[in-house]
Amino acid sequence: MTSTVESIGVVEPGSPRYRELLAFIAEGASARDLADENPHQQIDALRRAGFGALRLPKEIGGAGLTVRETFGVIIDLAEADPIVAHILRTHYWFVEERLREATAVDYAGYDSDRWIQLILQGKIFGNASSERGAQAVGNFKYGTHLTPHTDGYLLDGEKFYSTGTLFSDYVSIWADVDGVAVASVIVPTDRDGVTIVDDWDGIGQRRTGTGTTRFQKVHVTDDDIVSRIPLDAAPDPSYQFAFLQLYLHGLVSGILRNVVSDAKNLIQSRTRGFAHGPTEELHRDPLLLNALGTLASTAFAAEATTLAAADAIDTAHASLNNGVPDAALAANASLRASEAKVHIDEIATRAATVLFEVGGASAASRAKNLDRHWRNIRTITLHNPAAYKASAIGNYVLNGEPLPFNGYF
């Protein structure tokens, strides 16, 4: 299928154009996974359809979606292709941050916000935060550093897990400033000194561009620096990391829809069962019906849990005052996103295994590529250990200990 999407404004979720776009992305998704093919055309189609501006207010040219509505789109997109949906994770987080900052100004402020104008133009923002090395994950200490230069700064360092950056126009970087602060820096991906290496070799989510990004004497101006956060400063309440983490479960929820569809298709395509089975009519086999019903229930539970947690983020967003949310509401958003992970991780990986039980030995055919669901879900769930999340939640429930404040909560 050839995309017929044109640059005619932000696509409306649920519209014929929206459904056409999702069909274009879904077509060949499994084949792209088998062939290890990057979805450049699919990302370009989303760019032209204004997908990057779904959360921006209608008054300035966005779609004005709530967080819950945005997660509904993320789930739809992940059902079409979880690789494509994952590529946009940092972009949607970046948009969320711009909206948070914009609460300190009126709509006139949007016109002067460089980043929001770029988002409205269809620019995509990627990620370069995490680093390999001995530092504990999530402690905001980075080897990538920003140093003063004659006409600005120089950025040097190496990042990994740079999801989406290979497909992006700009990249968001966390960098050390003299060991006393962390700077959030945005630079174009084609700026001199930026090197993007497509070297992610994970078992799942393979073509998300989740590889190495290197920065060698990259020129940075004051306008490229979004914020500087002193390492010894008490952090403001925040729901930004809850959004980032919940996004992963939007991906899993979309994958689970596919698990249900593939399970149904497997049962319908089978022409024989076992001599010792309960019935020769496989569409009436109570064991297969039970498995399919369980999978459908799992998909529903995952999606409902994700959207309920998105409601908590919406509530925290509505409480913003000069860019800072109500502390209790922000903490609740973090809690709900964490609880969603602990629940969804377990039921989703199990569901991706049950899928094979409705298809028999032929379901293991490489050509069917049904293992992609398990590989993708398992890779997504490895972003942070569910056991640590469950322990932190238990400590909060029993002892009133706040959840940790870092990029994983």
346-393 confidence digits (pLDDT tens): 999 999 999 999 988 889 999 999 999 999 999 999 988 999 999 999
Question: Could you report the per-residue pLDDT of 115-140, keeping only the tens digit for each?
Answer: 999 999 999 999 999 998 878 777 78
Tell me how far CA of residue 206 lies from CA of 7, 37, 217, 366, in angstroms.
Answer: 29, 9, 29, 16
Q: Within 13 Å, how many C-alpha atoms sit on residue 217's CB side?
A: 3
**How many Cα neighbours within 13 Å face the side chain of 74?**
30
Q: Looking at the DSSP assignment, which residues form a beta bridge with residue 127?
A: 172
Total H helices, total E strands in the chain: 13, 8
pLDDT single digits (tens) 302-311:
999 999 999 9
Q: What is the pTM of this model?
A: 0.94
CB 165 within 8 A of CB 213: yes
Q: How confident is the model over 315-356, as pLDDT tens digits? A: 999 999 998 999 999 999 999 999 999 999 999 999 999 999
What secondary structure does DSSP assign to 171-206, as a single string? EEEEEEETTTEEEEEEEETTSTTEEEE-----SSST
Start-to-end CA distance of the chain, whole Å, equals 40
Token pair for residue 166? 């290979």
Cα–Cα distance list, 68 to 71, 74, 116, 133, 359 (Å): 5, 10, 21, 36, 35
